[in-house]
A and B are shown apart, each in its own frame.
Chain A
Amino acid sequence: MGLDRHPVERYAVWIKNAVRGDLGMAARGGATINSMVKSRLPNSALLAVVAFLIAVPTSLFAGVLAGTRPDTKLDRILSIGSLLAISIPEFIIGVILMMVFATKLGWFPSSSILLPGESILGSPKILVLPTLTITGALFAYILRMARANVIEVMESNYVRTAILKGLSMRRVVFKHVLPNAMIPTITVIANNVGWMFGGIIVVEFVFAYPGIGSLLIMAIDTRDMRLLQSTALVIAAIYAFANLAADLLYGLLNPRVRVGQ
């Protein structure tokens, strides 16, 4: 481990190896960090993807529903509900869900302990509560974004043009409102992939879910500097890639940003 050498030098060596894809050995347990990340990352990715797949379409749908009918009862309920969901931190939502569905009703397990060799896909029940927790905040956030953008676009001159072309409201919404309202919304969603990973760390810890987040917590617990560096690096890389993807997506969706042929 080279503890006799200067910390700066050790750090330089770690970076040199990390760039080559070798994160080194963990301080305890004798496993390579690479293999630990490799076994944990898919679990986190699974959690994120499932949460995303549930949250994005439903929240967009609800946001558009609220945005096209501003100040109706439905809009008020969705707006207030989403505000509530945003203001409650994930670990509280997680604990509440755990109390209700695991302790009281016993429908789903409260923690996600897996036996060695077992895969999440083998017992999908353990995915439900962590997913729901992440979905809650994400859903509320996207809903508010979509609603605000839809309302703004509904008031634009080109939507007025579309209405006065005699198009049906359905066509106005799908052809003229949505494409323009979704450009900023989708960008925000993509930018939030990174932010969501912050939430995942907490949720994984609450549910003892074997992902990259709980690996990070474990590294802190055991004062394993190298493991901590490595997991932070992985999370940061994911964050950076998500933002890059968001920018590319924005260019793809918005003809004004696209570079001329």
Chain B
Amino acid sequence: MNKEPLLKVEKLSVTFFTPRGTVIAVREASFEVSRGEVLGIVGESGCGKSTAAFAVMGYLPTTAEIGGSISFEGRDISTLSKKDLRELRGNRIAMVYQDPTTSLNPSMKIGPQVQEVISEHLNLDQTDIDKKVVELFESVGLADADQVGNRYPHELSGGMQQRVMIAMALACDPDLLIMDEPTTGLDVTTEATILDLVASLKKRVNAGILYVTHNLGVMARVADRVAVMYAGQTVEQSNVNDLFASPKHPYTSGLLSCVPKPPGAGEVSSRLKRIPGFVYSSQESDVSSCLFAERCPLADSECTTSAPALEFIGQDSQVRCFHSDKVEPDTWGAAEERISRKDVVSPIVLTGTGITHEYGKRQKKYMAFGPEMDLPVRALNKIDFEIPQGKTLGIVGESGSGKSTLARAVVGLVKAKDGSLQLHGNELDKTVENRSNENKSAIQMVFQNPTASLNPKLKIKKTLIRSLMRFSKLTKQGSEERAAALMEEVGLDLSYLERLPSELSGGEQQRVAIAGAFATNPEIVVADEAVSALDVSVQAQVLGLLEDRQQELGNSYLFITHDLGVVRYVSDDIMVVYAGHIAEYGPSEAVLSSPSHPYTEALLSAAPIPDPSAKPNPLRLEGAVPTMREEFTGCFFASRCPRKLGSVCDTEAPPVQKISTNEPHVINCHIPVDDLAKIQA
């Protein structure tokens, strides 16, 4: 094949001059997209993926300095006039963005928002345009396609909004479609339906697709070829199967080995590998060495004195490394075996019984009279759980399923309406204010967003010493020593004690937050999406850290996440929650294998698998978790259940069924276990 690629980006560099210094967002990005293929760009945050994508659209601030070339069908984007650029945008090159909610005009109906692209670029009369909009809405799988155009963006769910964005991008049959993290921030179930749509587009439209994501599972699902970016450089480019099977760059290999494997792979037998350190800073302008050298296990003197170039190592693959021939499965260390805790019986630390919570108050329409308005939201409904000592209970579910409310009820940040919590058999007060100091220090929490949960005005030392002096009854001197010890335990340099949170990266901040949680020698640490906002390499570091702490101190975790790979990796037991109800509860391995509750099944089939040869399970859930307000009699999952039996699901609450006789594994479902096993086989 000797045809000119649709898009050819060569040695692209983008530099921003900001008041706070020069930021080199892209250093040397080179990639090509041909018609009919999906090129995935993958890398951690700060690697310049999105900047490169916006550069292709010719959309960068006027202060940006751009080097190299971007040629679209042989024309250099940077030399185009404003008018020519306008003719390309939305017409020949269209883009889908990360956050559909803010990317749609909130005060305009979605129909006209799609229409205006068509009327801008195509010469059609109004009736044809109207017809085309309906067709577009149908083609992206929006229900009620001829009416949906009359709705405003806020009346649609996140998944539907993203479908509208995709319809808008497809409106003029573009030659190149750029998708910048289109499923990031959406629930796994919604993500799966959007990925299905992208996969079908690949067959249907004769366009090249540039797909930017940090998620290797998503990449494996949609891409034909993959370009890996690190610190603004393309470090490896290859077709998707080769890249996942035998990565040639140590960074790619590291990324692949630090992602927790998805469910279905049996018991977790080895620990996650970790890439040490952090992404090469974009403020650094020195490029006389390999930028990955300081984190690379293969680095030698050659790597620190000269910079490798992107070179072909096969017909279709390029790599930027002196030692690509030495990259092997063991590059990042031999598999570290993990001691199985499966058969260890340990005493129960924390028991929750019948925890129920509602948000909002009952209100009447006219003060004290009239019909009831805005019934309270039933966030949790009779949740029972047990956490054994030294073990981890994982909680999974989509957003809105009540995971975080449960975490907050356990630490006492929300006062549960009903139910009881017992620590070693002693009743805990529902609110944190009324708990004794010992009980407060026994249950600690790590939040999702470390930037927002650390006091920005307080040095790290102060943050740690405060809780040490309060809970450990140490002197100032003693707590300073302990703070230093904590920093060492979470793998941070002691100089960090004198810094403010804003001087730390997200991963470092989360380490500080973990150090703070462990300052009180807690028995239970509640981790609410503690690794969700972190890059995969940092996520692996933090997961490893949490694991080390548990092995040394024997504490338990209540681990909340939406990522099934992560939950499989950390948990001994898993609770699957939906709309405030327990769908399934049991030992981790058993929950993640069939037979399982239809909701667990749907979550499992939606989870993207970082293996391009994996066959996607077609079971999908549409829509979002309903907000439970009214009293209802049937099954909590009936409205979305893909395996609904019939009217019994609408009228009767599901029975608790034991899956096996020798394990405490239950599901709340009407379908007999044997039947489930047959359907899911």
What residues of chain A have their CB less than 8 Å away from a CB belonging to chain B? Answer: 156-158, 160-168, 171, 175-176, 179-180, 183, 253-256
Q: Which of A157, A167, A171, A183 contacts B97 (CB 8 A)?
A: A157
Residues on B with beta carbons closer than 8 Å to the beta carbon of A180: 105-107
- Which of A157, A166, A176 has the most chain B CB atoms inside 10 A of its CB? A166
- A175 & B106 in contact (Cβ 8 Å cutoff): no
Residues of B89-117 whose CB lies within 8 A of A: 89-91, 94-95, 97, 99, 102-108, 116-117
- B120 & A167 in contact (Cβ 8 Å cutoff): yes
- B89 & A163 in contact (Cβ 8 Å cutoff): yes
Give the Cβ gap from A176 to chain B, nearest Cβ, in Å. Answer: 5
Can you give 14 contacting A-B residue pairs, CB < 8 Å?
A157-B99, A161-B103, A161-B165, A165-B89, A166-B86, A166-B87, A166-B88, A166-B90, A167-B86, A168-B86, A175-B108, A176-B105, A179-B105, A256-B106
Q: Does B57 touch A at the CB level, under 8 Å?
A: yes
Nearest CB to that of B98 among chain A residues?
Answer: A157
Task: Give A160 to B106 CA distance when docked, in angstroms.
Answer: 13
Q: Does B355 touch A at the CB level, under 8 Å?
A: no
- A183 & B107 in contact (Cβ 8 Å cutoff): yes
Q: Does B515 touch A at the CB level, under 8 Å?
A: no
- B99 & A165 in contact (Cβ 8 Å cutoff): no
Give the Cβ gap from A184 to chain B, nearest Cβ, in Å. Answer: 11
What residues of chain B have their CB less than 8 Å away from a CB belonging to chain A? Answer: 57, 59, 85-91, 94-95, 97, 99, 102-108, 116-117, 120-121, 152, 154, 165, 168
Residues on A with beta carbons closer than 8 Å to the beta carbon of B106: 158, 180, 255-256
Give the Cβ gap from A169 to chain B, nearest Cβ, in Å. Answer: 9
Residues on B with beta carbons closer than 8 Å to the beta carbon of A253: 107
Nearest CB to that of B112 among chain A residues?
Answer: A175
Nearest CB to that of B101 among chain A residues?
Answer: A157
Q: Which of A156, A163, A164, A176 contacts B108 (CB 8 A)?
A: A176
Beyond A161-B97, A180-B106, 14 extra complex contacts between A and B, CB < 8 Å:
A158-B103, A160-B97, A160-B103, A161-B165, A164-B57, A164-B59, A164-B89, A165-B89, A166-B88, A166-B90, A166-B91, A175-B108, A176-B105, A179-B107
Nearest CB to that of A163 among chain B residues?
Answer: B59
Task: Give A161 to B87 CA distance when docked, in angstroms.
Answer: 15
Give the Cβ gap from B138 to chain A, nearest Cβ, in Å. Answer: 21
Residues on A with beta carbons closer than 8 Å to the beta carbon of B97: 157, 160-161
> Given A183-B107, A255-B106: A166 and B59 within 8 A (CB)?
no
Task: Give A6 to B494 CA distance when docked, in angstroms.
Answer: 77
- B107 & A255 in contact (Cβ 8 Å cutoff): yes
Nearest CB to that of B118 among chain A residues?
Answer: A165
Task: Give A157 to B102 CA distance when docked, in angstroms.
Answer: 6
- A161 & B105 in contact (Cβ 8 Å cutoff): yes
Residues on B with beta carbons closer than 8 Å to the beta carbon of A256: 106, 152, 154
Task: Give A16 to B94 CA distance when docked, in angstroms.
Answer: 68
Residues on A with beta carbons closer than 8 Å to the beta carbon of B95: 164
- A157 & B103 in contact (Cβ 8 Å cutoff): yes
- B87 & A255 in contact (Cβ 8 Å cutoff): no
Give the Cβ gap from A68 to chain B, nearest Cβ, in Å. Answer: 14
Q: Which of A158, A164, A168, A254 contacts B105 (CB 8 A)?
A: A158
Task: Give A171 to B86 CA distance when docked, in angstroms.
Answer: 12
- A167 & B116 in contact (Cβ 8 Å cutoff): yes
Task: Give A128 to B103 CA distance when docked, in angstroms.
Answer: 46
Task: Give A180 to B557 CA distance when docked, in angstroms.
Answer: 46
Give the Cβ gap from A78 to chain B, nearest Cβ, in Å. Answer: 21
Task: Give A163 to B85 CA distance when docked, in angstroms.
Answer: 10
Q: What are the 8 A-B residue pairs with the smallest beta carbon separation, nearest first?
A: A166-B90, A166-B89, A165-B90, A157-B102, A158-B105, A157-B103, A255-B152, A166-B86
- A161 & B104 in contact (Cβ 8 Å cutoff): yes
Task: Give A162 to B121 CA distance when docked, in angstroms.
Answer: 13
Task: Give A196 to B120 CA distance when docked, in angstroms.
Answer: 43
Residues on B with beta carbons closer than 8 Å to the beta carbon of A158: 102-106
Residues on A with beta carbons closer than 8 Å to the beta carbon of B94: 164
Nearest CB to that of B102 among chain A residues?
Answer: A157
- B168 & A165 in contact (Cβ 8 Å cutoff): yes
Residues on A with beta carbons closer than 8 Å to the beta carbon of B165: 161
Residues on B with beta carbons closer than 8 Å to the beta carbon of A254: 107
- B102 & A171 in contact (Cβ 8 Å cutoff): no
Residues on B with beta carbons closer than 8 Å to the beta carbon of A183: 107
- Which of B88, B89, B104, B107 has the most chain A CB atoms inside 10 A of its CB? B107
- A175 & B116 in contact (Cβ 8 Å cutoff): yes
Task: Give A158 to B104 CA distance when docked, in angstroms.
Answer: 5
- Which of A165, A179, A255 has the most chain B CB atoms inside 10 A of its CB? A165
Residues on B with beta carbons closer than 8 Å to the beta carbon of A168: 86, 120
- B59 & A160 in contact (Cβ 8 Å cutoff): yes
Task: Give A166 to B57 CA distance when docked, in angstroms.
Answer: 10
> Given A164-B57, A171-B116: A179 and B168 within 8 A (CB)?
no
Residues on A with beta carbons closer than 8 Å to the beta carbon of B87: 166
- A156 & B154 in contact (Cβ 8 Å cutoff): no
- B90 & A167 in contact (Cβ 8 Å cutoff): yes
Residues on B with beta carbons closer than 8 Å to the beta carbon of A156: 102
Q: Which of B85, B107, B120, B152 contacts A165 (CB 8 A)?
A: B120
Nearest CB to that of A161 among chain B residues?
Answer: B103
Task: Give A168 to B120 CA distance when docked, in angstroms.
Answer: 9
- B102 & A165 in contact (Cβ 8 Å cutoff): no
Give the Cβ gap from B158 to chain A, nearest Cβ, in Å. Answer: 14
Q: Which of B104, B108, B121 contacts A166 (CB 8 A)?
A: B121
Nearest CB to that of B95 among chain A residues?
Answer: A164
- A165 & B103 in contact (Cβ 8 Å cutoff): no
Task: Give A158 to B168 CA distance when docked, in angstroms.
Answer: 13
- A179 & B121 in contact (Cβ 8 Å cutoff): no
Residues on B with beta carbons closer than 8 Å to the beta carbon of A157: 97, 99, 102-103
Task: Give A165 to B88 CA distance when docked, in angstroms.
Answer: 9
Residues on B with beta carbons closer than 8 Å to the beta carbon of A171: 116, 120
Task: Give A22 to B20 CA distance when docked, in angstroms.
Answer: 66
Nearest CB to that of A165 among chain B residues?
Answer: B90
- A165 & B117 in contact (Cβ 8 Å cutoff): yes
Residues on A with beta carbons closer than 8 Å to the beta carbon of B86: 166-168
Task: Give A162 to B91 CA distance when docked, in angstroms.
Answer: 12
Task: Give A176 to B102 CA distance when docked, in angstroms.
Answer: 13
- B116 & A165 in contact (Cβ 8 Å cutoff): yes
Residues on B with beta carbons closer than 8 Å to the beta carbon of A162: 105
